């Protein structure tokens, strides 16, 4: 911004009152030993973890989900207090899958 110099009088030091005020605040902060504070407006990117309900549809998706659960248990990312309840669910799942496999095998043998 150009500084307009009048024909008479003192030569202006600042281009506007806002710059004059900012300089005064900076000098005042420096004199008191405080740091100058400047407010800078800029966009900030925030990364958030979002929980998404998972509904696997294929065997590969189920395997990936169970592998992630296994890794979390191995890494200690599941609370000890929750392990017994989780173990009961895993046993129930194992029994259900085993039962389905046995029934499927029996049906296959009957067809022969």
Model confidence pLDDT, tens digit, residues 9-52 = 777 788 888 888 988 888 888 888 776 667 778 888 888 888 87
* pLDDT at residue 1 tops 70: no
Least confident of 51-60, 77-86, 89-98: 51-60
Higher-confidence residue of 26 and 77: namely 77
Supply the DSSP string of 77-104, one letter for each residue. Answer: -S-HHHHHHHHHHHHHHHHHHHHHHHHH
- CA distance readout (Å), 82 to 1, 75, 79, 87: 67, 14, 5, 9
């Amino acid at each position: 911004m150009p500084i307009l110099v009048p024909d008479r009088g003192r030569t202006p030091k600042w281009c506007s009152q806002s710059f004059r005020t900012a300089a005064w605040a900076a000098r005042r902060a420096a004199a008191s030993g405080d740091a100058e504070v400047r407010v800078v407006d800029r966009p900030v990117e925030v990364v958030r973890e979002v929980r998404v309900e998972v509904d696997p549809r294929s065997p590969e998706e189920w395997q990936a989900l169970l592998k992630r659960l296994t890794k979390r248990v191995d890494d200690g990312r599941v609370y000890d207090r929750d392990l017994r309840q989780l173990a009961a669910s895993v046993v129930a799942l194992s029994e259900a899958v085993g039962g389905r496999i046995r029934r499927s095998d029996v049906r296959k043998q009957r067809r022969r």
